[in-house]
Chain A
Amino acid sequence: MTSPRTTTATIGIGVALLAIISALLALWLPLILVLRLMVSAPFIFVLPGTFLVHAFLQLPTRTERIIAAILLSTAVNTFAIFLTEELTERMTAMHILGAIIAVHVVTYGAFLVHRAHLRTGHQSIAKQRTSR
């Protein structure tokens, strides 16, 4: 049985790879339009939202979790691109790639920090965040 630390590291590496691969696919591979859109559009990158949903929202059904993940992903990805544009005043493919990777890393970091909190005995805080 693998230790929690190994599992976390594996997930982390997987996330980073997925983010890089999907961003590369999105930006450079000449795929057909629909496929490119599915892989690429920032709101389809649901991983950041999924991390946030798992860390900060305890939703009762899968449908609600998926919807919340899509909405949260749209918001954080859009905000990351907006922030990159505001800070650099340029928006090349590399900037977009950077923004997408950064948002994956930050939200995954938030997920890890939250899990560490839970592990150190803050379960009650997490429960208070549950609506019902």
Chain B
Amino acid sequence: MNSILRHLTPPTIRFVVLFLSYLTVLVAATVQLLAARELIAFLFYASFLFFVLVPPRVPLLRTKGHPTRTPEWWYTALAILGLLLLLGSRIVPFLRYGATPLGYDTGFYWEYFNLIVPAQTIGTAVGSHLAYATWFPLAALGLGAIETITLLHLVHQLLTAGALYLLLATIVPRRIAHRVAACSVFLFAVSTIQFSAFWWIFYKQSQALPFFLFALALFFRRSWLALPIAVFATSIHLPTAIPLAGGFALYVLLAIVTPIVRRQRIPRDVLLLAVSGIVALVAVVLIRSPDEIKGYIEVLLQYRGFATAAQSWEIDRFKGLFLPFAVARIAALYYLPFAFIGLLRGVRMLPIWRNGRRAMSPPDLLITAFAVLFLLVSFPFLHQHRSLILFDVLLLVLAAPSLAWFMEQYGSRGKIERVTIGLLLFGMTFSLAFIVWNQKPQLYADEAAELAQLHPRNDPEHHIRDGEHNYVMVTSSLYTPWAYAYTGFDRTIAPGWLRWDLWDLPQWTTFWTTKDDAKRLDLLRMYGDSTIYIFVGRHVLEQATGSPMITFLETSPYIVQFSPHIWKYSQYADLWGGGIPDAYAP
């Protein structure tokens, strides 16, 4: 007993407490998401990393004086591998599924392009003029909507990797800057959350993100350029700025309150920061127009900041139509322990842990931003799911130093250890490859071709869409932007979106679920004597085959299958005879 107590020195107790806290947080983050066997495997993995990265009797912050053993070129190779993975993972969907393999918003950006580029001005067609300014030079070169949007979206990914490199190279000691920054590029490339953000084509957020990271790097370098770059990024995408602005405000508040509590003078730097924040706010309002900012504030007040205050069918939209927090935690399993150890290091740097010997320093901004973001992604605030993209970037920022430290500490021990590191990197790469390969497009190329048949450009003599009152209808909002774009941005009926929809939610529910076909026909008759091309894509067919709605499409005398995924409805079915066009005949 005495021998045990003799070993319970303060460093040992501290280590045990730290380890238990670490495990508790990781268990809390994953227990509801993983089966027992998976959870145990994950905890073994996390414990292994902890014992390598935070060995007992070595202070958590002691990184000085350790020689770097892994050669520099190894990290350069890792960064290049990261860039190749980044490019590969973003290009593969295009190679597999054609020009539009990405998510929902492609169609809407396509529409914006068609609105502003031929008019040679943005005018009042879209908000956030700054985000679309770069379309003009590319359009002047003869690039089409999809090429322009996709190319720029890809460039934004590369810019983000570069900005992340710069940020990490700024916040860690110069001696290990390249090593840590290279790890951050690799982690960014293999992050499935970042891939999902790319896939969902959150164009403006992806465009703003590298500039936020760049502004942070400039801020840490104490460059005045941080201010205009932050204003630039905020003007592109205001919602992404809100968590960072919250973190900044909290940081400035702490930096002001701490000296007041200690009866010290507030440092001039801190006051300068507060003034800079106000100047940035004014500049953003001027660029984005006060009315637009007012619109954001009205939405915020209307829903009291919570997405759950919206109507049930609007909640997902107000949360940001992205991965839920639980799925994101699963996606981040590989680097979650690294990030948490990075957070422990970061928190230990906060002045409150140092008995006030140090004022708030710039890197503390990362911790305050992390705290604000953690709050925003944990509760159903407006834009909760979209905030995950920024939250994941901060996880990567916290994880990169730990990963580099792990490679240094563990990789230098011997061959087996180096193989283990290789397996870890392979695991991360494989995880990304698996997600990329299994990411199905919302609209397949053959479905796109079917919809394109209905475009006036492909039907100049109006053989298919004769007359001015014909419609294209989608039965699921999943296909709204696709049908709208591919059929020429004209009369498209979609649930809850676009001006041609005459039905409310109960009427749509009736159309989807009722067993009474007469009610469906009554609903369709609300569009008068129009012909309606009803598109039902593969995703809906997979789930709804055999449902009353599909049976109605297949058996109603007023409807004929026009192509594999399009059904043609008319009150005067007997006049046109129906039948599948030759192009789609089996």
Interface positions of A (Cβ within 8 A of B) = 26-27, 33, 36-37, 40-43, 52, 56-57, 60-61, 63-64, 67-68, 70-72, 74-75, 77-79, 81-82, 85-86, 89-93, 96, 100, 128-132
Whole-angstrom CA separation of A107 from B391 in the bound complex:
34
| Shortest distance from the beta carbon of B72 to any chain A beta carbon, whole Å | 11
**Quick check: A81 and B214 within 8 Å, CB to CB?**
no
| B184-221 contacts to A (CB < 8 Å) | 210-211, 214, 218, 220-221
CB pair A89–B123 under 8 Å, yes or no, is yes
A36-B141, A56-B225, A96-B136 are known contacts. Are A79 and B220 too (CB-CB below 8 A)?
Answer: no
> Closest approach, in angstroms, between the C-beta of B325 and any C-beta of chain A?
30
Contact between A96 and B137, CB atoms less than 8 A apart? yes
Residues of A within 8 A of B123 (CB): 89
Inter-chain CA distance A74–B197, complex, in Å, is: 21
Hey, which chain A residues are within 8 Å of B232, CB to CB?
75, 78-79
Q: Do residues B134 and A43 form an inter-chain contact, with CB atoms below 8 A?
A: yes
Does the CB pair A26–B137 fall under 8 Å? yes
Q: Which residue of B lies closest to A86 (CB)?
A: B129
Among candidates A43, A56, A78, A79, residue contacting B224 with C-beta atoms closer than 8 Å? A56
Q: Which of A61, A79, A132 contacts B178 (CB 8 A)?
A: A61
- Is residue B120 contacting chain A, with contact meaning CB distance below 8 A? yes
Asked if B371 is at the interface (CB within 8 A of a chain A CB), the reply is no
User: Is B169 at the interface (CB under 8 A from chain A)?
Assistant: yes
Contact of A52 with B225 in the complex, beta carbons under 8 Å: yes
User: In chain B between 115 and 157, which residues have their CB closer than 8 angstroms to a CB of chain A?
Assistant: 120-123, 129-130, 133-134, 136-138, 140-141, 143, 151, 155
Q: Which residues of A contact B221 (CB under 8 A)?
A: 57, 130-132
Instruction: Give the interface SS of chain B, mostly helix, strand, loop or mixed.
Output: helix
Q: Is the CB of B136 within 8 A of A129?
A: no
With A86-B129, A89-B123 known as contacts, the answer to whether A64 contacts B136 (CB < 8 A) is no
Which of B106-114, B160-168, B432-440, B500-508 is near enough to bind chain A? Answer: B160-168
Contact assessment for A71 and B163 in the assembled complex, using a CB-CB cutoff below 8 Å = yes
A-chain residues with CB within 8 Å of residue B220 when the two chains form the complex: 131
Contacts A/B (CB < 8 Å), 28 sampled: A26-B137, A40-B138, A41-B155, A43-B155, A60-B177, A61-B169, A61-B177, A64-B165, A67-B165, A68-B166, A71-B159, A71-B214, A71-B229, A78-B133, A78-B232, A79-B133, A85-B121, A85-B122, A85-B136, A89-B123, A90-B121, A91-B121, A91-B122, A92-B120, A96-B140, A100-B137, A128-B222, A129-B222
Supplied contacts A41-B137, A131-B222, A131-B223, 20 more A-B pairs, CB within 8 Å: A26-B137, A36-B141, A41-B155, A42-B134, A56-B224, A57-B221, A57-B223, A67-B166, A70-B162, A71-B163, A74-B159, A79-B133, A79-B232, A82-B133, A90-B121, A91-B121, A96-B137, A128-B222, A129-B223, A131-B220
CA distance A92 to B130 in the complex (A): 17
Name the contact of A56 in the complex, choosing from B120, B169, B211, B223 (C-beta under 8 A): B223
- What are the residues of chain A within 8 A of B163 when measuring CB–CB? 67, 71
Q: CA–CA, A40 to B178, complex, Å?
A: 31
Complex: A86 Cα to B121 Cα, angstroms? 9
A79 to B130, Cβ gap below 8 A? yes
Can you name the residue of chain B whose Cβ is closest to the Cβ of A128? Answer: B222
B133: chain A residues within 8 A (beta carbon): 78-79, 81-82, 85
Which chain A residue shows the least CB distance to B120? A91
Cα(A11)–Cα(B285), bound, Å: 38
Assuming the A-B contacts A56-B225, A61-B178, A131-B222, are A82 and B130 also in contact, with contact meaning beta carbons closer than 8 angstroms in the complex? yes
Q: Interface readout for B51-69 with A: 1 if CB under 8 Å, 0 if not?
A: 0000000000000000000
Q: Does any Cβ of A come within 8 Å of B265's Cβ?
A: no
The CA-CA distance from A92 to B218 in the complex, in Å, is 34
A71–B212 alpha-carbon span in the complex (Å)? 11
Q: Does B354 contact A (CB under 8 A)?
A: no
Q: Nearest 5 pairs between A and B by C-beta?
A: A131-B221, A82-B133, A67-B162, A81-B133, A91-B136
A93: chain B residues at CB < 8 Å are 140
Contact A82 B159 (CB under 8 A): no
Closest beta carbon of chain B to A38's beta carbon, Å: 11
Binding site for A on B (CB under 8 A): 120-123, 129-130, 133-134, 136-138, 140-141, 143, 151, 155, 159, 162-163, 165-166, 169-170, 174, 177-178, 210-211, 214, 218, 220-225, 228-229, 232
Is there an interface contact between A27 and B141, defined as CB atoms closer than 8 Å? yes
User: Which chain A residues border B162 with CB–CB below 8 Å?
Assistant: 67, 70-71
* Given known A-B contacts A71-B210, A79-B232, A37 and B141 have beta carbons under 8 A apart: yes
Q: State A81–B129 Cα separation when bound (angstroms).
A: 10
Which of A72, A85, A86 is close to B225, meaning CB atoms less than 8 Å apart? A72
The CA-CA distance from A91 to B137 in the complex, in Å, is 9
Q: Select B129's contact among A64, A85, A92, beta carbons within 8 Å.
A: A85
Contact A75 B136 (CB under 8 A): no
Report whether A41 and B214 are in contact in the complex, using a CB–CB cutoff of 8 Å.
no
A56 to B219, CA, bound (A): 13
* B137 touching A40, Cβ below 8 Å: yes
Instruction: State whether A78 touches B134 (Cβ < 8 A).
Output: yes
Minimum CB distance partner of B162 in chain A: A67
Q: Is the CB of B129 within 8 A of A41?
A: no
- Complex CA–CA separation, A69 to B133 (angstroms): 20
Query: How many angstroms from the CA of A70 to the CA of B166 in the assembled complex?
Result: 12
State A79–B130 Cα separation when bound (angstroms). Answer: 7
Nearest chain A CB to B213 CB, angstrom units: 9
A27 touches B174 (CB 8 A): no
A79–B122 Cα gap in the complex (Å)? 14
User: With A52-B225, A56-B225, A71-B166 given, is the CB distance from A41 to B138 under 8 Å?
Assistant: yes
Interface centre among A68, A91, A93, A129 (most CB of B within 10 A): A91
Q: Which of A43, A72, A81 contacts B136 (CB 8 A)?
A: A81
Q: Who on chain A is nearest to B161 by CB?
A: A67
Quick one: given A42-B134, A57-B223, are A63 and B165 in contact (CB under 8 Å)?
yes
User: What's the Cα separation between A86 and B210 when bound, in Å?
Assistant: 24
Q: In this complex, what residue of B is CB-closest to A92? A: B120
- Cβ distance A125 to chain B, nearest Cβ, rounded Å: 11
Identify which of B123, B151, B218 gathers the most chain A CB atoms within 10 Å of its CB. Answer: B218
Of all chain A residues, the one with the shortest Cβ separation from B229 is: A75
Tell me if B141 and A71 are in contact (CB < 8 A): no
B140's partner among A27, A63, A85 (CB-CB below 8 A) is A27
Within the complex, what minimum Cβ distance (angstroms) separates B1 from chain A? 52
**Least CB distance, B176 to chain A, in whole angstroms:** 13
Q: Please name all residues of chain A whose beta carbon is closer than 8 Å to the beta carbon of B159 when the two chains form the complex.
A: 43, 70-71, 74
